[in-house]
Amino acid sequence: MNNTAHTSHHFVKFGYYALVTAVGAAVVYCLYLFAVPLVGSFLCVFLLDPIVNFFETRGMKRLWVIVGIYLFIVVAAACVVFFVGPPLAKQARTFVQDIPRYKALLANTIGTLQTAVAQKFPQANIPDINEMLGDRMPKVNIDALIAYSSSFFSFISLVVLIPVVTFFLLADGHLIEKVILEMVPNRYFEMVFMLFHKVTTALKLFLRGQCIDAGAVGIMTIIGLSIIGLPYAIVIGIIAGFGNLIPYLGPIIGFMPALLVILATGGFSIIMLIKVIIVFVLVQFIEGTFVYPIAVGKSVDLHPLVVIIGVTIGGQLGGIIGMLAAIPIISVLKVSIEVLHASLKSYSII
Amino acid sequence: MENPIWTYIFGPPKERKAMIELLRSLPAFDGLTTNELLQVERMLHVRRFTAGEQVFSEGLPGVGMYIVKEGEIEITKKIGNGGSVRLTLVGERHFFGEMALLDEMPRSASGSATRDSVLLSLCKPDLEQISERNPALANKIIGNLARLICRRLVKANENLETLQAKLEEAKAASRGKKAAGDE
């Protein structure tokens, strides 16, 4: 009798875990559909949470602080749209329109070089590089990009879902965490809670640090390039900021468009090139000496080989976006695994 | 049985009031205002244990303290011969494991439910979150815990003194017996 009860107990337990797994899989599938707004919301929460806490510790109600921050963001966004938006859009459009000019300039330089080589080595059978390059130059249609970004779903995702999800996560994030932890069996509660806390804390610090670092590089590059008078400073600054997410290769990613602009505007000027190099070296020096150690720290040092392999695989899988996303994803995994390993060791599980 | 999801989202007021009264009766939350007690209550995790179920094990890292809402918890410590000895029984409206709130050291004893119990858990990360959002409140809680631990230390020292005196008495008696035997 007791044995039958025991078996049925196990059967119910198995059924419960099967149900939880099925619901979990369904939730993961739904989360996959909303991956972009969710990731965006988590990033916003990681960035805004310290600001909300700062005001909350000074006696303000959390809810009102969040509402205040939202109002501030709306006003700031309106200012950006009215004051920075038009010149930025103009710079981006002109930059893309100038690409054929850069292509012609590049073809001209390659042609001259090829003729010189052919004269020097007449026996060598040098293929026509311009013909080989053909139409491999990137074709960027800025209007198509704008049209895509303002398509209905991406508009809903970015403009409505991210602020709404961010609002609830900021206000009641710990309640969601409590509901999830409620489902953990008693014997694993302490361990799961500690792991969850340590991994999310490490991720929060890392992502917040990376965003601050990339933002600082972007702003410093824009200021530096504007001072020396290089056109498209805002566009190049934004590229440099995003590029900075990739260690070692980041400065090159930012520098390449600047070099192209020097070539395209008024021919090749050594003085302008030196000025641009000074700006990039200065930005990297300030970032490496002051910003990165404070904002990110040493926790995510990746071996250069890992960076190269990661960027290559990212590029193969997802093009430019894959290259940009590869290193942050590898870093997030590295941080999570390190914390998980240390914690599981302290519980004598591994 | 109540549904925790809806309890967390809508929070039955009666249940919350009872929780606040429970917290108010504990020395760890002495001097906290109702608003502050509400902030602590929002952080608590409700855990249900069946009779005999282990709450935590000696030697594993501690995460936080437990308040006994319903039931009873037995605290035991391993002894040399592989067995264990009962240190105390923690009844309703009492708490245990508070040292883990202050330091992430391994648990000094094990805890298990003697009957079906409902415990409220306040973990170290929760206290850290309170500290980030309301440092004055966290200070009050940590101050109360420090006072409690000090009192226990004084009591432990007194016990140690008594035990040492008894040991000395026993040694003296043994020496006396030995001397009498020699004569």
Spacing of C-alpha A68 from chain mean position: 26
Tell me, what's the ipTM? 0.80
Does A268 score more than 70 pLDDT?
Answer: no
Portion of chain B with pLDDT greater than 70, in percent = 93
Please tell me if residue B131 touches chain A, with a CB cutoff of 8 Å. Answer: no
Average pLDDT taken over every residue of chain A: 78
Question: What integer pLDDT is reported at residue B2 of this predicted model?
Answer: 42
Interface contact A132, partner B, CB < 8 A = no
**B45 contacts A189? CB cut-off 8 A:** yes
Nearest Cα residue in chain A from B4 = A179
Planar angle of CA B10, B125, A182, nearest 5 degrees = 40
In chain A, what residues touch B129 (CB-CB under 8 Å)?
174
Instruction: Tell me which residue of A92, A109, A94 sits closest to A267, measured CA to CA.
Output: A109
Task: Give the residue ranges of DSSP H helices in A121-151.
Answer: 129-133, 142-149
Q: How far, in Å, CA of A315 to CA of A250, rounded?
A: 14
Question: Please, are residues B134 and B36 in contact by the beta-carbon 8 Å criterion?
Answer: yes
Check: CB of residue B51 under 8 Å from CB of residue B102.
no
Neighbours of A46 (CB within 10 A): 20
Instruction: Give the pLDDT mean for A4-21.
Output: 73
What pLDDT does residue B1 have?
39
Among candidates A57, A187, A190 on the partner chain, residue whose Cβ is nearest the Cβ of B134: A57
At B3, the pLDDT band (50, 70, 90 cuts) reads very low
Contact B63 A56 (CB under 8 A): no
Is B133 within 8 Å of A179 when comparing Cβ atoms? no
What pLDDT is stored for residue A221 in this prediction? 93
d(C-alpha B122, C-alpha B140), whole Å: 15
Searching chain A, which residue's CA lies closest to the CA of residue B42?
A175
How far apart CA B92 and CA B68 sit, in angstroms, is 5
Q: Where are the alpha helices (DSSP H) in A34-98?
A: 35-56, 62-79, 85-97
**pLDDT (tens digit per residue) in A101-155:** 766 776 776 677 677 777 777 766 666 665 655 555 545 555 555 555 555 556 6
What residue spans define the domains of chain B? 4-182
- Are A346 and B61 within 8 A, CB to CB? yes
Instruction: Measure the CA–CA gap between A218 and A209, rounded to whole angstroms.
Output: 14
Pick from B32, B49, B31, B34: which is nearest to B121 by CA?
B49
pLDDT at A123: 65
> pLDDT-based confidence at A234, cuts 50/70/90?
confident
Whether B72 contacts B35, CB under 8 Å: no
Task: Please give the Cα distance from A228 to A217 (Å, whole number).
Answer: 16
Cβ separation B62–A190 shorter than 8 A: yes
CATH topology of domain B4-182: Jelly Rolls (2.60.120)
From CA A232, how far away is CA A239, in angstroms rounded?
A: 11
The distance of A8 to chain B (nearest Cα, Å) reads 18
**pLDDT (tens digit per residue) in B8-59:** 455 556 777 888 999 999 999 999 998 889 889 988 999 999 999 999 988 8
- What is the average pLDDT across B72-88? 89
CB-nearest partner of A347 from B49, B60, B129 = B60
A69-84 mean pLDDT: 86
DSSP string of B97-111, one letter each residue: -THHHH--PBPSSEE
Token pair listed for B159: 């016990």
Look up residue B138 and give its two tokens: 């966290």
Does B63 contact A193 at a Cβ distance shorter than 8 Å? Answer: yes
Q: Do A347 and B61 touch (CB under 8 A)?
A: yes
pLDDT confidence of B83, banded at 50, 70, 90? confident
